[in-house]
Structure 1
Amino acid sequence: MEATYRAVCASGYADMTMQDIAEEAGKSKSLLHYHYDTKEGLLVAFLDHMLGRFEAEVEGMDGESPTERLDALLRRMSPDEGDEDRRRFHRALLELRTQAPCREAYREQLRRNKDAIQERFAAVIRDGVERGEFHEVDPERA
């Protein structure tokens, strides 16, 4: 999955090929196709992997205050924060989202990712309201 991340950052969604990913991984394209029939299948697995990575990072914030966690989440989600690879990844993700109306697998995985991220934000906001750090607000709408 790290090779997919590097390839998508380097080439973007539209220009990235299975060969690019294989080269990044130092493996053969046929080995990649053994595990993933299509670029679409690989990218769906990659999006799921990235969601798992995001959730692991966020779980590491649990000891922080709701204000600190909200700030960290906002910075984590901002394409302007971080290095050039993160900006490239966000651009590639935008490209991938443009494919979602036509590709059900992308649409479903992107929906799962969005739902998980929204729930994480809502949980932080609920915690902040309960602790008196945030004004009373509906966490689902915030």
Structure 2
Amino acid sequence: MKATFRAVSEHGYTDLRVRDIGAEMELSRQVIHYHFDGKYDLLSSFLEYVIEQYEGSVAIDPGSDPRAELNARIDQCLLGPEFAEFIHWERMKVYCELFAYAQHDEEHREIFNDHYEYIRESIVAIIEAGVEDGVFRDVDAILMGQLITDVIHAARERRLALGHESAPEEAPRAIDEYVLDSLLA
């Protein structure tokens, strides 16, 4: 997975070849083909690996209020986590490059859809719990979760595609002030 990350980072998605990945780990492409059914299968496994790291990395203090949980989820999606082998924004660059080409690959589209749903559903669950606890007013939790998830994705793209370095810090402030404040009961 580390070799795949380095190869995609260096060559980009469209110019990537299995031999580029093999060169990163000093293996022949035959060895890679023994384990994977080609470039797309390997990239699918890579996507699942990166997404699994993100999905399992949100640390929320037990007993946190729903707003603190939402802030932790949003920060994790926009600012990290950091893992020794991959720096967050280098990883997001590769993630977003593969995301852009998912329209041409049904398996990758399915992986990204599942990840999107995971993020959205985790946000929806927090909102629903907040409504149930009386911390948040009664809202359409699914629609609110959709909005927050879309803002997260837009901020990522603004930083990566447009070079707006401050987008990941601006988005949580905007969500907090214009969305989460409106949720309070």
Q: Per the shorter chain, which TM-score range? A: 0.7 to 0.9
- Alpha-carbon shift at residue 6 of structure 1 (Å): 4.1
Letter in 1 for 2:99: R
Q: Which runs of 5+ in 1 are unaligned?
A: none
Contact 2:7/2:16 (<8 A) preserved: yes
- Alpha-carbon shift at residue 57 of structure 1 (Å): 1.4
- Alpha-carbon shift at residue 122 of structure 1 (Å): 1.0
- Alpha-carbon shift at residue 64 of structure 1 (Å): 5.1
Distance 1:131 1:141 in 2: 19
Distance 1:32 1:85 in 2: 25
Find out whether 1:13 has 2:13 as its counterpart.
Answer: yes
Find out whether 1:61 has 2:53 as its counterpart.
Answer: no
Worse-matched range after superposition: 33-42 or 14-23: 14-23
Larger Rg: 2
Contact 2:130/2:136 (<8 A) preserved: yes
Correspondence for 1:95: 97
- Root-mean-square deviation (Å): 2.6
- Alpha-carbon shift at residue 87 of structure 1 (Å): 1.6
- Alpha-carbon shift at residue 11 of structure 1 (Å): 4.4
Contact 1:13/1:93 (<8 A) preserved: no
Find out whether 1:128 has 2:127 as its counterpart.
Answer: no
Distance 1:25 1:137 in 2: 51
Q: Compared with structure 1, are the counterparts of its residues 105 and 21 closer, same or farther at alpha carbon in structure 2 (3 Å cutoff)?
A: same
Alignment of 1:29-48 (within 5 A): 29-48=29-48
Q: Give me the TM-score of the superposition, normalised by structure 1.
A: 0.77
Q: Which runs of 5+ in 2 are unaligned?
A: 145-185
Q: Secondary structure at the match of 2:114?
A: helix
Distance 1:70 1:3 in 2: 34
Contact 2:5/2:94 (<8 A) preserved: no
Contact 1:61/1:69 (<8 A) preserved: yes
Give the fraction of aligned pairs with identical amino acids, expressed as a percent.
Answer: 34
The number of residue pairs the alignment matches comes to 139
Alignment of 1:82-121 (within 5 A): 82=80, 85-121=87-123
Distance 1:25 1:132 in 2: 54
Distance 1:93 1:74 in 2: 17
CA offsets per residue over residues 21-78 of structure 1, 9 Å max, x none? 33444544322221112211111122222232222213x4262522222112111222
Higher relative contact order (CA 8 A, sep 6+): 1
Find out whether 1:77 has 2:90 as its counterpart.
Answer: no
